[in-house]
Structure 1
Amino acid sequence: MNGPTETVDAVVIGAGPNGLVAANLLADAGWGVLVLEATERPGGAVQSAELIEPGFHHDLFSAFYPMAMASPVIAGLDLERHGLRWRHAPVPLAHILPDDRCAVLSRTLEDTMSSVSAFHPGDGEVWATEFAAWSRVREPLLDALFTPFPPVRAAARLARALGVADGLRFARMVTMPAAAWGRERFRGEGATLLLSGNALHTDLGPHQAASSVFGWLLCMLAQDLGFPVPEGGSGELSGALVRRLQARGGRVECGRAVTRVLTARGCAVGVEDVSGARVRATRAVLADVPAPVLFRRLVGEDGLPARFVEDLGRFHWDDATVKVDWSLSGPIPWRNPDAARAGTIHLANDLAGLTRYSTDVDAGRLPEDPMLILGQMAVADPSRAPAGHETAWAYTHVPRGYAWDADRLRRYADHLEAIIERHAPGFTSRVRGRYLQGPRELERDDPSLVEGAVNGGSAAMHQQLVFRPVPGLGRSDTPIDRLFLASASAHPGGAVHGGPGANAAKAALARAGMAGPLYHRVISRLHDVVYAGGPPRPRREPT
């Protein structure tokens, strides 16, 4: 039996960062907004807690936020007025090689130049050239990334900033593997490892197409802005988004899972929660959940074009993940002191090792020599641990579909600790406690991290722009009128920057505006063309 019905302008499914960004932008426009979150706390993959013992503040999922600091979407919300404070490690990133040499990426350009030049004279000057290119295109490039597709004005500004000759070469770089492009530009291994290691924050290995642009982007952001963290824990970023929303009259209700999107005549009209209670949405429903979850579980395939459903069956998730958190009695005793100053550590492969690791994951093999992405949180923010102690974590990508149980997860965590111990003798003796999350645990703690996929779908070229989440318009609009995809499954994809949420909010506002009927007809016709071969869609305007 259905419960009582309440009415709002918009319902947002999911209180992850994209859902909260979307809700804030709609509230700024004067809409009444209700955010429904399935778990007991807002934030999605941006949460922190004292997981192991009091005084040690752990980030449950994501931890460092260069994209959030760079994002014009996040900047426009002025979250500092709602309690957000950014903190920085002395050095954003260090990549430790098997022989304990370090490639160090510093916020000081001269220091990064010196580090990469130690691997080959002259590489520092090439790095400076790349940073100069980044500085020239930074603003239009970021605008193009976070503008609803197609980003006509931002792309035109980017083209003017690059010019024809450099524009062609930039486009070539975007398509290239990180290892190939790094070897073209640099003679030593250090700079190429920084590029390839950063590319592996996605599911793209150093020899996969388009990994170069992800590695280059994160490297340049680290050089420019660092890898910042919210003071007190990642949950402070989510907390600032919630406080801002509440100040504008929006509401967040946790522990209230949505089980169905309600539709009428091809239009989203509200949602039903796990208790059977319904919420009527007079203007829009926005979903900060993965695309397969939204369309298969909450909408149902029967109400979707057959071609769209067929394409959804080809959706590619990114890799699964294993993560370990530690409370430590002291700093990690790295053999190379350069690593002690870095908030983020890439451990501990050369380029051949990164290639083997990526190949193992792609082939469904559990890597024996994985790349670890490790965070030293008290190095970046001393409030994360008692004085003289450390709060640390490490994660690595693993194959999807691997049969994890508690014993296998424990033994693999022991293996990861042994890798750290080789480069930081005495590490294991400083472990006071640890908390393990395999793919199953990550999905349990945040249902949007399906089997530990942290980016809402593969970052490969075939699933970007107009191919994300399926071949279409590259927009948040869906084949269901007034239903908008606001998660990382939509363009511009994963990482914490608010882009998908902002795009969904802008689309919802456009659909509800004075030109809304025309907007609906255009989008509907385009969907009919893209998904030709599916069932006919209704032409009547929804009431």
Structure 2
Amino acid sequence: MTSPLPSGDSERADAVVVGSGHNGLVAANLLADAGWHVRVLEAADTPGGSTRSAELAAPGFVTDLGSAFHPLGAASPVMRGLDLERHGLRWSHAPVALAHVLPDDRAAVLSRNLDVTADSVDTFAPGDGDAWRRLFAQWRELREPLLGALLAPFPPVRGGLRLLREVGTPDLLRLIRRLVLPAVRFGAEEFRGEGARVLVAGNAMHADIPPSGAGSTAFGWLLAMLAQDVGFPVPVGGSGALAQALVARLETRGGRVEVGRPVTEVVVERGRAVGVRDAAGGTVRADHAVLADVPAPILFRDLVGPEHLPVRMRDDLDRFEYDLATLKVDWALSEPVPWTARGARSAGTVHVGADTEGLVDLSADLVAGRVPATPYLILGQLTTADPTRSPAGTESLWGYTRVPHDALREPGAVDAHVRRMEARLERHAPGFRDLVVGRAVSEPDDLTQQNPGLVRGALMAGTAGLHQQLVFRPTPGLGRADTPVDRLFLAGASAHPGGAVHGGPGAAAAQAATARAGRLGPAYAALIRAGHRVVHGSPD
């Protein structure tokens, strides 16, 4: 049983936000825009969650602790609406957004210059350049209504109607089919050559869905079109600059971020969230709402407690699936990576390790719980993208590979896999090892220590598989930020629309909180409560 908050508690706010990841900060900003007094409590010593930066590999070499490249951050209507450039955020681009290095050392290049991309994929199969142009023309027509629908609270009524008006029913059905296609099938339908196909399949690997799995096109096609459209930009100075801009914006509106203050409990009284308690026993009362930018299992099991949840939801949480674990390595290099494939030398993001067929095989290993013998690497040439990241003539190289959970527990397993990663780089960039002047290895548990939201190194706070999206995210339910606890809202990537830096979950939570506190709040609460009873039943 939880103890109630003191009635005379002097610490109070209209809303308390638990966690200062970008979603928590987005939610706090939107509530502050509505005139709310907002307090954000963060366990770490710096705000930002997965949008933080540091000098890990060597002094003077800035890397990102989590996310590095932000195509959705640049394109998201949520993030664009915050006008963070007025609060210090500046974007920087590499000359080329992305290159995928194939086993035979050819590189497929994806540039914001459409001619460059079309010419690159044409070298693999004449005519694929024209196919790419047609797809991008369709994307430009769909972009705003599609992003509006994808990032809106579920169900996306307004965005969905706008998308329907834009494309019409027949083409909307074809678009939905495209989104649920396996990426390898989409590539086979649209292109003749390996270059364009692997650009889509490789981008699908940013999520944890195999490129042969249903729904992988949604990620691969979306990221490929965004790379063509807005590029893969990075914040000047590091991803921490994005969090700093969000904090600065919040503070101009009277909000407050308190770091080094871990929350240990969401206080629930008579079925309603009324505030939080921190590790030191301090409390903050929330007059209107508690919003949590933490993974769903942590929120419901650790901070709320099972006694406040319906039995069915407790059972569903036992089935919650995190996405794959991550092994991350940061390198400080005395010179840029000496790629044999020239197209990779000017790319901010580089994929290396497999062609389309190899990606399917590698994904099969991961699904089966095996560590792939040949790792697939997603690399960030951070200095190429942003010259402020390291001394002139050097490179701050950021990279990660996915691994099954608990697969690297044996002594020496992490070092062995890092050697495999570096062997792959040495093969495609002879002399790479000689350029390394510093290295920082972050195994899954290290990532969790840096950010407790990265549970066992899972980057997306839950698998992106179809079985845990929309009304199944984080568990079968309403697909909304509302929870079975009144005035408690899930604001992190475990909620719809999921992972990546786009602010969708934070914005949805802020919208739900303001609706609950509004004039029609009691009716809204009754409707949400009825929905949860239908799906989950009632708490014991």
Q: Using structure 2 for the length normalisation, give the TM-score.
A: 0.97
Structure 1 moving runs of 4+ over 4 Å: 1-5
| Match of residue 51 from structure 2 | 46
Instruction: Give the distance between the partners of 2:517 and 2:75, measured in 1 at CA.
Output: 29
The question of 1:61 aligning with 2:66 is answered yes
Identify which of 73, 85, 90 aligns with 1:80: 85
Structure 2 residue matching 1:11: 3-state secondary structure:
strand
Correspondence list, 1:111-260, <5 A? 111-260=116-265
Give the whole-Å Cα distance in 2 for the aligned partners of 1:358 and 1:427: 26
CA distance in 2, matches of 1:177, 1:44: 31
Aligned to 2:450: 445
Deviation at 1:210, TM superposition (A): 0.4
Query: Which residue identity is paired with 1:35?
Result: V
In the alignment, is residue 389 of structure 1 matched against residue 394 of structure 2? yes
One-letter amino acid of the structure 2 residue matched with residue 31 of structure 1: W
1:541 is matched with none
- Please tell me whether residue 33 in structure 1 is matched to residue 60 in structure 2: no
Q: Say which SS state the counterpart of residue 8 (structure 1) adopts.
A: strand
Query: What secondary structure, in the 3-state scheme, does the structure 2 residue paired with 1:527 have?
Result: helix
Cα distance in 2 between the residues matched to 1:27 and 1:379? 37
Residue pair 2:408, 2:414 contacting (<8 A) in 1 also: no
For 1:365-380, list aligned pairs within 5 A.
365-380=370-385
Distance 1:535 1:279 in 2: 25
- Mapped to 1, the partners of 2:364 and 2:81 lie a distance apart of 40
* Equivalent residue, structure 1, for 2:412: 407
Residue 463 of structure 2: aligned partner:
458
Aligned to 2:11, the other structure's residue is in SS state strand
Deviations 1:353-398 (A, max 9, x none): 1111111111111111121000101111001010001100110100
- AA matched with 1:206: P
Contact 1:263 1:269 in 2 (8 A): yes
Structure 2 counterpart SS, 1:104 = strand
Paired with 2:322 and 2:416, the residues of 1 have a C-alpha distance of 26
The equivalent residue for 1:315 is 320
Contact between 2:290 and 2:488, CA under 8 Å: does it hold in 1?
yes
Q: CA RMSD in A?
A: 1.3
Using the TM superposition, give the Cα deviation of residue 159 of structure 1 relative to its aligned residue in structure 2, in angstroms. 1.4
- Return closer, same or farther for 1:65/1:217 CA change in 2, 3 Å cut-off: same
Unaligned runs of 5+ in 2: none
Aligned to 2:303: 298
Distance in structure 1 (CA, Å) of the matches to 2:170 and 2:113: 29
Give the whole-Å Cα distance in 2 for the aligned partners of 1:221 and 1:520: 37
Question: CA contact under 8 A between 1:345 and 1:375: conserved in structure 2?
Answer: yes
Counterpart of 1:232, as a letter, is: G
1:333 aligns with 2:338: yes
Q: CA deviation at 1:400?
A: 1.1
Q: Could you give the per-residue CA deviations for residues 286-321 of structure 1, whole angstroms, max 9, x where no partner exists?
A: 000000000000001111111111111111110000
Deviation for aligned residue 1:29: 1.1
Q: How many residues align?
A: 535
* Deviation string, structure 1 residues 319-356 (Cα, Å, up to 9, x no partner): 00000001110000001111001000000211121111
Distance verdict in 2 for CA 1:264–1:60, change over 3 Å: same
Q: TM-score, normalised on structure 1?
A: 0.97
Give the drift of 1:165.
2.5
Looking at structure 1, the residues matched to 160 and 169 of structure 2 have their Cα atoms a distance apart, in angstroms, of: 13
Aligned to 2:441: 436
1:265 partner letter: R
Q: Which amino acid aligns with 1:262?
A: V
Alignment-derived partner of residue 16 in structure 1: 21
Supply the distance in 2 between the matched residues of 1:400 and 1:259 (Cα, whole angstroms).
26
The residue that corresponds to 1:416 in the other structure is 421
Tell me, in whole angstroms, the C-alpha distance in 2 between the residues paired with 1:327 and 1:228.
Answer: 21
- Answer yes or no: is the 8 Å Cα contact 2:307–2:539 preserved in 1: no
CA shift, 1:413, in A, is 1.1
Cα distance between partner residues in 2 of 1:497 and 1:171: 21
Give 1:405 shift.
5.8
> 1:157 Cα deviation (Å)?
1.2
Matched residue of 2:494: which SS? coil
Q: Equivalents in 2 of 1:5, 1:203: separation in Å? A: 45
Taking the aligned partners of 1:352 and 1:153, their CA distance within structure 2 comes to 39
Deviation at 1:60, TM superposition (A): 1.1
